[in-house]
A and B are shown apart, each in its own frame.
Chain A
Amino acid sequence: MTPSALDYLLWGALPYVVLAVLVGGTVWRYRYDRFGWTTRSSQLYESRLLRIASPTFHFGLLVVIIGHVVGLLIPERWTDAVGITDDAYHVTALSLGALAGVTTLGGIALLIWRRRTTGPVFSATTVNDKVMYLVLVAAILAGLATTLLSAVAGLTGAPEVDYRETVSVWFRSVFVLQPDVAAMSAASGAFKLHALIGLALFALFPFTRLVHAFSAPVGYLFRPYVVYRSRDRRPTAATRPIRRGWS
């Protein structure tokens, strides 16, 4: 099947637009809105549900992310080379993926339910948040759908296009600036949908509260407990060179 013009647009051009928005937007946000760069936690309003829902969602998501990294970045021939059969790989990937995906979905469902039903939390929800939740949930649902469809196909023995020969190949090709549009256009509809929603999520990323993921405080593990700092001569402009008014 030869790729159509739409395929070129979606899988050849769009990824680079999204990448530009993601990188450019993040840099822009970091430069101009560091004050707005926060988790905007609502734990102060409601703690009981959050303490169950938030770790469920976040830890589930961490596993999902690791799964994506493994599935997308490790070529099939590497796993073949170390002697992992295709069946073993897919059974593991699908079961772990389904488990993590369902956990994540359950977590976010509880979080959204909490957000809607707890008065102060709902009052603190912006339109930006709502759009972000919509895309995020759609991405999770579409991702779970691909997992389930793959599992069903695996069980019934129906012909199924292996994502490691289509989506993954395309994903890696994007980063070497030679997008393999043909590989992606050969993927199934569910994968295409999931990839598109994923691209939308990445494009939204820098402009939502999701940016807090970029500031995962790993450095905390390696710094002394008490931090000393000298007085800034100019606190709000310290990060940028100071220019004269007329320049």
Chain B
Amino acid sequence: MARIGKVMAQVAMVMNLDKCIGCHTCSVTCKQAWTNRSGVEYVWFNNVETRPGQGYPRRHEDQERWQGGWKRTAAGRLKPRAGGRLKKLATIFANPKMPAIQDYYEPWTYDYEHLVSAPLGDDIPGARPRSLLSGDPMQIKWSANWDDDLAGGEELGSQDPIVQKIGDKVRFEYEQSFMFYLPRICEHCLNPSCVASCPSGAMYKRAEDGIVLVDQDQCRGWRMCVTGCPYKKVYFNHKTGKAEKCTLCYPRIEVGMPTVCSETCVGRLRYLGVVLYDVERVGKAAAVKDERDLYAAQLDVFLDPGDPDVQAAAARDGIPARWIESARRSPVYQLAKHFAVALPLHPEYRTMPMVWYIPPLSPVVDALSETGHDGEDAGNLFAAIDALRIPVEYLAELFTAGDPAPVKRVLAKLAAMRSYMRRINLGQAPDEAIATAVGMTGADVEAMYRLLAVAKYDERYVVPTAYGVDEADRGVIEEIGCSLDFEGGPGMGGMGGGAPFGEASGRPQAAAVENFHALRDRQTSDGHTGPPRRVNLLNWDGKGRPAGLFPERDQKAGTAPARDPESRNPENKEPQ
């Protein structure tokens, strides 16, 4: 065993693509939680793509054009593909490789007003689409999932960069086509090229849990991160002029809850867990010469949380015992390393992505069943995996830099599991030979089946709470007091300070573990938990002046002040 360098923990995700039904619930709930604001109308931190398809933004995988990720130089070093530090600064006045809004889609709303204000006439009034950017009427031509379910078929599907790469073998005719859904979020890479591209140093990887975030106070809107990310998962908020990205729902992760996309996933296909890795091996692993070795290199960076040496090294590097324990139960480690059925998305970008995917066996099963063969027989499935070159090649381009061997290995394991478990379901004797054929034991196959098919909530989401916020560090928490009371915070009478230069300025609202409980109290209590009061317009009868609804009247005018600053502190109140 090689020497263990500095151990770091990463909250990672695995998605089982066989179970994705493409319902977009993850995308919608994510959008409701995070990007339901002006400036990010076009932004989907989570989106679900139909593959083959162009994805969102359109053809984002075409790195010849978008120049995302890292490039290995002749000397074996890594450099952002879009250029190093000097080139970044030289092109800072206009980013030459930034996708335009049309590459995502122009956000729109509908002219609902017209439905009620249209003059009486013979025609039923309609709500025409209007651009949310310019307010002008527009033609809707594209959106985040325009080519859903192979909509557009040959015409759009053939524009998929991977389809173009593997040649003209991919068919889009109904009978011969295959498709699957690919939900995508930020990969929270071990070697993030967006972070490397940020001239301001506003983007960072959190040391405790590996979540990649944008410091909104430090971002200056240079837009290099948008180019740097090969997955195009950093977005530019055109209202605030700042970069925004998937936060892995860190306020939820910090209190031990799964991300919104995981929580609401209808197919229950997402797994969350901690992976321990050796940060000193990351640079070397990301720079291996052959792209096809990147998958294996990344696996080598992960440390076995069951190994006492690793546990000792993790404790040495300040990782709390409960995190190490959590890593031992991590479904992500199980699926990625132990069973080795999860694969990284586009390892060839050399960013060491940390959202992994179990490739779908369904294209193989479907093709097999259509030919009239038994789609659950191990022998048939193994033969089909070898014979069906197109889906396998396509999956290999997605997950293993084009190397079909690991994809075939994973699909064979999934096929073996399917076949092995069918025998058990039918009351037949378990056939150990099926498991042996894919290098597993029957017990292994059953354990994998349990994790993939029946795992309950707390088995799928093994998320330890952030350091310093639970009983283990109670002293720290008590120091903090009311978490809304920081200077300029909501508890001090401001909503994160004023906004001297319009809605885009001022301080952003705190969203962190410290105010989680306070926010929950506010959401669940019957009364007001403190100023500033919020008025629910749905309940307001239009009479009177509820406190907090209108701006305060001039005190000299003699009317009662809407809000008395002194009454904020209950101790100052006179007895009634």
Contact = CB atoms under 8 A, between A and B. Distances in A.
B508 A45 contact: no
Contacts of A231: 206-209, 254, 466-468
Interface stretch (B19-27, B302-310, B488-496): B488-496
Interface stretch (B115-123, B218-226, B324-332): B218-226
Interface in A210-247: 212, 215, 217-221, 223, 225-237, 239-240, 242-246
A41 B221 contact: yes
Contact of A35 (B208, B216, B486): B216
Given A35-B508, A43-B98, A227 B218 contact: no
Contacts of A34: 217-218, 507
Given A40-B241, A212-B221, A245-B569, A227 B195 contact: yes
B134 A39 contact: no
A236 B199 CA distance: 22
A44 B238 contact: yes
A230 to B, nearest CB: 5
A237 B218 contact: no
Contacts of B133: 45, 119-120, 123
B220 A38 contact: yes
B241 A242 contact: no
Contact of A38 (B96, B240, B467): B240
Contact of B85 (A51, A220, A228, A235): A220
B221 A35 contact: no
Contacts of A232: 512
Given A36-B504, A123-B133, A231-B466, A237 B488 contact: yes
A111 B256 CA distance: 49
A45 to B, nearest CB: 6
Contacts of A123: 133-135
Given A59-B93, A226-B205, A228-B205, A35 B220 contact: no
Most buried by B among A220, A236, A239: A236
B206 A33 contact: no
A51 B96 contact: yes
A37 interface: yes
A35 B195 contact: no
A85 interface: no
Contact of B93 (A58, A235, A236): A58
A95 interface: no
Contacts of B216: 35
A51 B205 contact: no
Given A233-B480, A235-B510, A43 B94 contact: yes
A43 B200 contact: no
Contacts of B134: 119-120, 122-123
A235 B219 CA distance: 14
A126 interface: yes
B276 interface: no
Contacts of A35: 216-217, 240, 242, 504-508
Interface in B64-97: 80, 85-86, 88-89, 91-96
A212 B204 CA distance: 21
A179 to B, nearest CB: 32
A236 B489 CA distance: 8
Given A51-B94, A226-B205, A234-B514, A38 B221 contact: yes
A15 B499 CA distance: 29
A233 B136 contact: no
A61 to B, nearest CB: 10
Given A45-B133, A217-B220, A233-B514, A32 B491 contact: no
B207 A36 contact: no
Given A35-B216, A217-B200, A245-B485, A227 B205 contact: yes
Interface in B248-275: 254
B201 interface: yes
Contacts of B85: 220-221
A215 B236 contact: no
A230 B207 contact: yes
Contacts of B239: 124
B220 A212 contact: yes
Contact of B88 (A44, A54, A220, A236): A220
Given A120-B131, A221-B86, A40 B93 contact: no
Interface string A15-57: 0000000000000000011111111111111110011001101
B502 interface: yes
B497 interface: yes
B208 A227 contact: no
B236 A41 contact: yes
B166 to A, nearest CB: 31
Contacts of A236: 486, 488-489, 496, 507-510
Interface string B116-147: 00000000000000010111100000000000
A63 B22 CA distance: 54
A128 B502 CA distance: 10
Nearest to A208: B501
A217 B501 CA distance: 23
Contacts of B208: 230-231
A54 B93 CA distance: 6
B196 interface: yes
Nearest to B238: A44
Contacts of A244: 481
B101 interface: yes
B501 A228 contact: no
A29 to B, nearest CB: 8
A131 B271 CA distance: 53
A41 B207 contact: no
A38 B514 CA distance: 27
Contacts of B205: 226-229
B487 interface: yes
Nearest to B239: A124
Interface in B175-230: 191-192, 195-196, 198-201, 203-209, 215-223
Contacts of A55: 91, 93-94
A59 B90 CA distance: 10
Given A120-B131, A231-B206, A237 B489 contact: yes
Contacts of B492: 245
A36 B92 contact: no
A42 B134 CA distance: 13
18 contacts: A35-B240, A35-B505, A35-B506, A39-B221, A43-B98, A43-B223, A43-B236, A44-B101, A45-B238, A212-B220, A217-B89, A220-B198, A227-B205, A234-B486, A237-B487, A239-B217, A245-B485, A245-B491
Given A227-B204, A245-B482, 9 more contacts: A33-B500, A38-B220, A51-B94, A124-B239, A220-B200, A225-B196, A231-B206, A233-B468, A237-B486
Shortest 7 CB-CB contacts between residues of A and residues of B: A36-B505, A119-B134, A217-B199, A225-B196, A120-B133, A40-B241, A38-B241
